[in-house]
Structure formats: C-alpha cells, structure tokens
Amino acid sequence: MIAATTCSFHNSPLNAYYKKKREQGKHHLTATGAVARKLTTIIYAVFRDGKRYEAKKFC
C-alpha cells in the first residue's frame, strides 16, 4: 500500500488513474487500493515477460 500511495502522487500514469477513480466518487483508500492492484499487475507482467517497464504500455 505504501508503494501504491507513493505512485498515486508521484508517478504520472498511476496518478492519473488515481484521479480518475477519485472523480468516479471513490474514497481515497478505495482509489489507493485500485492503484495497488494495477501496480501489482504491472510488476507481475514485468517479471513474467522479462521486459523493462514502459508506462505507456501499462497505463
């Protein structure tokens, strides 16, 4: 959750995703949880594929 919180405010693609969830009326913790799930999916895909992280591809 700490990584998701940090990404929510400092990583522009994940920050945009966080803001989108907040605009949908989601609570701060719900939006942060959504960012955490997306971040987990990104990390898994990077390890699975053995490729570098590209923000445009994932977010």
pLDDT of residue 58: 59
pLDDT of residue 57: 63
pTM over 0.95: no
Instruction: Using 50 as the pLDDT threshold, list the residues of the chain that sit under it.
Output: none
Candidates 58, 22, 42; CA nearest to 8 is 22
